[in-house]
Each structure stands twice: as structure tokens, then as C-alpha cells.
Amino acid sequence: MNKTLQQKNTQNLFTRLLIILLVGSLLFYVLMRMQARHMQRKQLELSQLNMWNAFVHQRGIMPAHVYGEYDIVESSNALPQWLNDPRDTTLYYANQKQWHPFEIMTGRFHLNGKDYQVTTYVSSTEINHLIIKVFLVEAFIFVLLFVAVIYINRKTSAALWMPFRETMKKLNEFDITKKQPFEVPAQTGITEFNELNAVADNLVTKAKQAYHNQKQFVENASHEIQTPLAIIRSKLELLINQPGMTEKTAGLLADITEANERLSQMNRNLLLLAKIENNQFPAKGPVDLSVLLNKIIDTYQLHYEERFPSISKYIQQNVSITANPSLIEILINNLVRNAIIHNIPSGFIRVELNSNAFKIWNSGPALEMAPEQLFERFRKGNDEVKSTGLGLALVKQICQLYDFKLDYHYAGETHEITVIFDET
């Protein structure tokens, strides 16, 4: 499962830091316990010595037993080894009606040929309380540290990755088909990101160059092909006027002529596409779409006469946009022609124009390709119309040039193409 670097970092910190802190706390507790034991032993030893000295100097005056302080017992028994180590015990305090924990230790002393065993007491309550309090404070500090480390880590990593996110955003927004600059800062303050930006910049420059070369190639090729095509066409026209032609020769010539015409048309459209891509149509001016659309439809109606599909027009008057007039004419013309050509016998066309969109519907069978491929070059429909397969590619290219939004829908045996001029 993939997570963001920050999440990953936090997760890592959570588990590892927690383990370290838990182990640290445990170690701290154990060390404190050991230290406390050591301290109590030293206290007991000192108190043993003090009590014995007092007992020797004030013999007979000093009591042999003080509850909770010391016991001095005369004993010739050999002292077992464990008695000389601090050990736990509890004493009952009747007035408090409570048992209290104590540490005791017994030592062996000699006086006038007699053996005495001196046992001293030290209360464990206070040291236990101290340990708990110190441990709690430590735990609190550790929790604070834990939270602070995670917080700081998250904050700094967000700030640290800023240049990376900026570069990602720029790369994502970059569109090679548009003539937009790609600019990422060369100096981000972080060496790795400087490298990343340099690599991205280099990549984009190379891609731009390759794209430019490819466009240039298409334009140059189309341009150079024009002359041979013109020669073939002119020679064919001379040839078809040669006397004594047989029907077979005429048939062959008809096929050659037709193929040559299609080649010319395709070449013309490719050249046009390349020119639009290379932004060679800078001349802009107001274009009255209402007049243009009516004119184009009238022309087609005139040409197609009774075979023109039934048409319904909803054209708002005085719809005008600023663009290159020739390109807009191509755009509208290709969409209208597309609707006529890819129609069914006695089908219909419906056009709608208002100040921010042009819509055209036509009856027709469903596409045999994915709708998103419709506007690609050399995508042809399923009918027998000998089109160049570039008409809608031109539409797409022109829309791209002017930032028009192009949409296609198919529902109820009807194709719908929408061009939105202004999305606001």
C-alpha cells in the first residue's frame, strides 16, 4: 500500500520512537530502582555503624530495641549470608492501623567476647513515592517529546517538499501542444530538488524540440508534396484529352484521377493542420458566427438540394467572436459537413447557436470507435464516404488553438457535438 512520504515518516516515527521511548522508560525505571537500593544499603550500613557506636558508648542507657529504627540482639549464632543484604519487611503501626514497608539489614559486631547482631530499619515508603513521582515526570516529558518530534517532523517535511510539489504541479500543467513556457526555479535551496528541476527542464526542452521537429517535418513534407501533385494533376488533364482513348484506359485514368484528388485533399488538410499547430494564423478579427453559420448551411442546402437532411435552426443573431475568420469558417464548415455526410437517408440536422456555444445534432448510426478517438487524425467512420479523415482533427486543432471546449455525445441514434466558446 502506498502512502505519502509524510504519512510514511510519521508512521515510522510512531513505531520506532515509541519503542525507543518505552525501552528508555523501562531502563530508566530499572536504573532508578537499582540506584535507590544502593542508596538504602548505604543508609542502612551507616545507620548500623552509628547505632553500634552509640550502643557501645552508652551501654545500659540506650535501649536495645527501637521499633522501626533498630534491634540489637546478643547472639552467638553464625549470621547467614543473606542477612547482611538489604531485605524487605513490613511493620504494623497500631495507632495508624497500617502496615508500612521497610528495608532492613543485619550486621554482626563483637564486644567483650560477645557477639551482637545489629539490625537497622529504613522506611521504603518515601523512596517508593519518589520513584513513582520521578517516573511519572519522566513519562510526561517523554510523551511531550514524542508529540513534539512528530509535530516538528510533519511541519518540516511539508516545508521541505514544497519545491517538489511545485515542480510536480508545473509538470502536470504542462501541455506540449500549447506554446507555453515551462519554468521551474533552478535554485530551490535543496540540492536534490535542484537536480530534479534541472532534469525536468532538460526533459521538457528535449520533448519540445522533438515535437517542434515533428510538426516542422509534417509541414515541410506537405509543402514539398504539393508540386509533384500539381504536376500529376496537370498531366492527367492533358492525358484525358488525348484522342483515341479506349473505355478501359478512361476507366484507369478515372481511378488515378480520383486517387490523386484524394491525395491532394489530404495533403492540403495536413498542411493546414501543421500551420494551425505552428500558429501561422495570427490574424484575428471579429467573426459574425450567426451570418457565417447561415451562409454555410445555405451553401450546403444549395449543393445538396433535395438530398439535404431536414434541418431545424435555432440561431441567435449577432453572435460574434474574435478569431481568425478563415479558421472559424473551417471549424463551422467541417462540423456542418460532417453532420450532412455522416447522416442517414431522410435524416435530420439541428443547429443551435448562442453567445457562448455552438451545438449541432445529426441522426446517424453509433460510432464504431471510442468517442474520444473521433477527433483524432485519420479516424474514419463506418460508412462509405470517402473522407480524408482529417475534418474533425482540424476542428479539434482549431478549438485547441482558441481554448474552445469540444464535446461529443451520442444518445438515441443522434450525434451531438458542442463547441463552447467561453466557459465563463
Partner 1 sequence: MKLLVIEDEPSLLKAVVEFFTQEDFLCESAGSYKEGIRKIEDFQYDCIILDINLPGGSGLELLKYLRRNKNSDGVIIISARDSLDDKIAGLDLGADDYITKPFHMSELNARVKALIRRKYGQGKNILELGSLTIDVLSRTAHIDQHPLMLTKNEYDLLLFLVTNKNRVVSRQAIAEHLFGEEANNLSSFDFVYSHIKNLKRKFKEKGADDLIQTVYGLGYKIII
Whether the Cβ atoms of residue 109 and residue 116 lie closer than 8 Å to each other: yes
Query: Looking at 158-166, 188-196, 285-293, 381-389, which segment touches partner 1 (CB under 8 A)?
Result: 381-389
Spatial distance between the Cα atoms of 354 and 336, rounded to a whole number of angstroms:
16
Cβ proximity to partner 1: between 247 and 372 the closer is 247
CB atoms under 10 Å from CB of 288, counted, come to: 16
Q: Between residue 54 and residue 73, which ones bind partner 1 under the rule CB under 8 A? A: none
Instruction: Choose which of 220, 234, 312, 355 interacts with partner 1 (CB under 8 A).
Output: 234
* 28 or 308: CB nearest partner 1: 308
Comparing CA positions, the residue from 405, 177, 397 lying closest to residue 276 is 397
Candidates 63, 189, 251, 285: give the one binding partner 1 (CB under 8 A). 251
**Shortest distance, position 398 Cβ to partner 1, whole Å:** 14
Instruction: Name the residue with cell 484528388.
Output: 261
- How many CB atoms lie under 10 A from the CB of residue 421? 19
Q: Give the span between the Cα atoms of 291 and 375, in whole angstroms.
A: 26
Residues 256-275 contacting partner 1, CB under 8 A? 257-258, 261-262, 264-265, 268, 271, 275
Residue with cell 510512531: 14
- The residue from 38, 42, 303, 409 that contacts partner 1 (CB under 8 A) is 303
Q: Which one of residues 69, 74, 175, 237 is an interface residue with partner 1 (CB under 8 A)?
A: 237
Please choose, out of 124-132, 206-214, 227-235, 400-408, the segment that lies near partner 1 by the rule CB under 8 A. 227-235
Q: Tally Cβ neighbours within 10 Å of residue 268.
A: 16
Please tell me the distance from the alpha carbon of residue 422 to that of residue 424, in angstroms, as a whole number.
6
Q: If we measure between CA atoms, which residue out of 202, 190, 187, 198 comes closest to residue 161?
A: 190
Least Cα distance to 277 among 326, 215, 330 occurs for 215
> How is residue 387 annotated by DSSP?
-
Please choose, out of 153-161, 254-262, 366-374, 414-422, the segment that lies near partner 1 by the rule CB under 8 A: 254-262
CA distance 135 to 32: 9
* Given 223, 377, 379, 380, the residue binding partner 1 (CB under 8 A): 223
Nearer Cβ to partner 1, position 120 or 363?
A: 363
d(CA 277, CA 177): 8
Q: Which of 337, 377, 379, 380 binds partner 1 (CB under 8 A)?
A: 337
Among 1, 384, 412, 424, binds partner 1 (CB under 8 A): 384
- The strand ranges marked E within 214-253 are none
Using the structure block, give the residue that is written with the C-alpha cell 485533399.
265
CB of 333 to partner 1, least distance (A): 7
Among 76, 81, 187, 227, binds partner 1 (CB under 8 A): 227
CB of 268 to partner 1, least distance (A): 7
Q: Applying CB under 8 A, which residues contact partner 1?
A: 223, 226-227, 229-238, 240-241, 247, 250-251, 253-255, 257-258, 261-262, 264-265, 268, 271, 275, 280, 283, 302-305, 307, 326, 333-334, 337, 341, 384-387
